[in-house]
Amino acid sequence: MSEPTELVKFSLESHDSKSFANLCGQFDEHLKQIEQRLNIRIRNRGNQFEVEGEHNCILAAEEILKRLYRESCNGTELSPDIVHLYLQESGVEALYEGNDSEHQQQVVIKTRKALIKPRGPNQQTYVKTIQNNDINFGIGPAGTGKTYLAVACAVAALEQETVRRILLVRPAVEAGEKLGFLPGDLSQKIDPYLRPLYDALYEMMGFEQVEKLIEKNVIEVAPLAYMRGRTLNNSFIILDESQNTTVEQMKMFLTRIGFGSTAVITGDTTQVDLPKGTKSGLKHSIEVLNEVKGIGLTYFKPKDVVRHPLVQRIVEAYERHDNQKHKRQKTEEVNKS
């Protein structure tokens, strides 16, 4: 370890053995999961714990163990997935880096049907950025909550009457598959592309309410191509899967933003489905707008994935593979020159 290690002892509130067994997991799998994540060693005898590691990691471990134990005592059946989500939510990386002070003030998104709490420091930063900027980019791998939190912010803004309408926009680009002709009206044609947005809306507002608002055009669903020529005032606009926009489409979309509007552009630059040789509008916009005031940029990493722990490992594996590929290409170019 890069810093001196410490050994800290603490006790959890005495309770029945079943709660402790639930906390530790089968063959101590939950404790091992925490050990691996924080690079520490955990030993326990009953409710007596010893944690060895770097100072900030010990603080994180003690906090997460106490929180999980409370859940166990309340009857929650713990699993590796739940432990993973609690680790994300606790902001353990911020504690590890000694930057926990910035994340002490927790942000929550209040809607009529749900109270959404961003998990981890990066999601917290993302929501704060959306609340403080008119145009925002959320960039990173799948499963980091970019789209879900954007929809939550949109619903909260609509219910608080800070905007009059929500627009859901997405480029209709097929992800490597030829889907052929899709029957139905405009909404029905692009529904499959916007399903993640619909699912989030239904969860936060209810199916009937969402359908009523769509009928009244308070919630509007539109393909990106239909944005040309419009000026969008007093609206909350979400452009999802923006890595599949062209440079021209992205510029067109960004110049549609009117007074009293908030725009959130989400995407994953590693999953571009555009024809070969076509530059992603998302990648280009990051280069152009990186230092423009009033535009928020939040970058998510594999560690921010809040789906099944295996998803995080998959994303990390692809990232390592891409990095190695780029290194090989650079080495080959140098050798040729």
Match 């910035």 to its residue by tokens: 102
Residues 6+ apart with CB under 8 A from 187: 214, 221
Residue 107 scores a pLDDT above 60: yes
Predicted local confidence at residue 186, as pLDDT: 54
**pTM for the predicted model, two decimal places:** 0.65
Residue 84 scores a pLDDT above 70: yes
Residue 209 scores a pLDDT above 80: yes
Residue 154 scores a pLDDT above 60: yes
CB 234 within 8 A of CB 260: yes
Predicted local confidence at residue 1, as pLDDT: 42
Residue 180 scores a pLDDT above 60: no
Express each pLDDT in 117-149 by its tens digit. Answer: 887 788 889 999 999 899 999 999 888 889 999
CA–CA distances in Å: residue 283 to residues 157, 197, 236, 290: 28, 22, 23, 11
Tell me how far apart the alpha carbons of residues 307 and 192 are, in angstroms, rounded to a whole number: 21
Predicted local confidence at residue 325, as pLDDT: 79
Residue (of 161, 62, 145, 68) closest to 107 by Cα position:
145
Ordered DSSP codes for 241-272: SGGGSBHHHHHHHHTTB-TT-EEEEEE-TT--
Phi, psi of 41 (to 5 degrees): -120, 135
pLDDT confidence tier of residue 37, bands split at 50, 70 and 90:
confident
Predicted local confidence at residue 182, as pLDDT: 53
Predicted local confidence at residue 7, as pLDDT: 87
Q: Which domains does the chain have, with CATH numbers?
A: 6-97 (3.30.1370.10), 106-306 (3.40.50.300)
Express each pLDDT in 241-294 by its tens digit. Answer: 999 999 999 999 999 898 889 999 999 998 888 888 899 999 999 999 988 888
Tell me how far apart the alpha carbons of residues 264 and 249 are, in angstroms, rounded to a whole number: 15
Express each pLDDT in 291-326 by its tens digit. Answer: 888 899 999 987 777 665 566 667 677 777 877 877
For residue 165, give the amino acid letter: R
